[in-house]
Amino acid sequence: MNELELKYGCNPNQKPSRIFMENGSDLPIEVLNGKPGYINFLDALNSWQLVCELKKATGLPAAASFKHVSPAGAAVGLPLSDVLKKIYFVDDLELSPLACAYARARGTDRMSSFGDWIALSDVCDKETAALIAREVSDGIIAPGYTDEAFKILLGKRKGRYNIVKIDESYKPDPIERKQVFGVTFEQGRNEFEINKALLDDVITNNKEIPEDAKRDLIISLITLKYTQSNSVCYAVDGQTIGVGAGQQSRIHCTRLAGNKADIWHLRQHPKVLALQFKEGMGRPDRDNTIDVYISDECDDVIGDDVWQNYFAVRPERLTKEEKAEFLAEVDNVCLGSDAFFPFGDNIERARKSGVKYIAQPGGSIRDDNVIEVCNKYNMAMAMTKMRLFHH
């Protein structure tokens, strides 16, 4: 089959809509269940490329959680600590390496991942399917599904869950095209391989980037390769922890992603871990409530009389001072950028979120200033000399 008709395009008024192969060959995907839409397939094909590259670069199973053609999170299948299991709401599940990868990808930014599109680098197993079954998600793409996993996924969304299988041997043409306003754009595909060799040119006084940090920098850069630009990505422990996508200003990317990284860390604060929710409260409601609880606007948003709607036990406030003290201990975070940092203010903001290792293309007329700020904090920065814009 070389064509698939879709319900509509980006919006219901955009008809007709289809995906097809211009050369007449068969589509590399097979819809096993559901009826994915235009944006679903944009998410599916972008996220599939991301997880394939992550697996190739790290040798580990990989997963991504996509929303509106940018990753909310991406990760590889490293084991989870007890704290991560708790904040990802998976402490009651048996987790395979692939399930760990998706728990981490979803855990980057659980609010943004609500209703996500999932990509898996490996055949979906029953452990990963069991995790997916209890999260709100639009669909999944993977190279295959075990019988048990497929049966579990069929139970989602009253049997309408979008399940897509992709031919993992498929290789696209080296030239890609798209139309905008009736004009056809053509370019060579971005086949640039991101690997550890990209991190060899460390231009700061601190030249030491340990192996786990190199892995995390690679994860951040591959994630950025499939994130709408401008974009910046924070990563640690085999996963992204904050993705700032589609901003016009680099500092806004750094702030946005940094704020998400701070929230990821604060979810591990003892006061957050001690929260006792009302019985039967769903995961999305818990995520939303935790986000409000962590926010500086908490007292303005929710008064004393409202907490009883969410918690079995009235929680103590998490003060600004307590948050600042907790975040001050964060360290060894990695940061990737899809283009150069034009000013040192990006480094100042990154340091507030515990960044110690950076990978960015370089090439700004103010590189000296950026390097100077890195040296001030004993940070190690590699110049990759490769921009990763994606549109």
Whether 390 is catalytic: no
What separation, in Å, do the N-terminal and C-terminal C-alpha atoms of the chain show? 28
Q: Which two tokens stand for residue 260?
A: 């998400």
Compute, in degrees rounded to 10, the torsion defined by CA atoms 66, 69, 72, 74: 60
HSE-up (13 A, CA, CB side) for residue 31 = 19
Whether 68 is catalytic: yes
Q: Which of 67, 85, 225, 260 is catalytic?
A: 67
Cα 295 to Cα 231, 275, 391, distances in angstroms:
23, 15, 32
Q: Three-class SS of residue 253?
A: helix
Instruction: Give CA–CA dist 268/274, Å, rounded.
Output: 10
Q: Which of 158, 171, 207, 391 is catalytic?
A: 391
Q: Which two tokens stand for residue 245?
A: 């996508």
Instruction: Give CA–CA dist 160/35, Å, rounded.
Output: 8
Q: Which two tokens stand for residue 248?
A: 């016009």
Q: Which of 56, 68, 86, 390 is catalytic?
A: 68
Q: Which two tokens stand for residue 55?
A: 């697996």
Whether 391 is catalytic: yes
Radius of gyration of the chain from its Cα atoms, rounded to whole angstroms: 21
Residue type, 330: V
Whether 269 is catalytic: no
Q: Which of 33, 46, 230, 346 is catalytic?
A: 230
Cα 305 to Cα 124, 280, 310, 316, distances in angstroms:
45, 20, 11, 14
Place of tokens 């007449």: 24
Q: Catalytic residue positions? A: 67-68, 230, 391
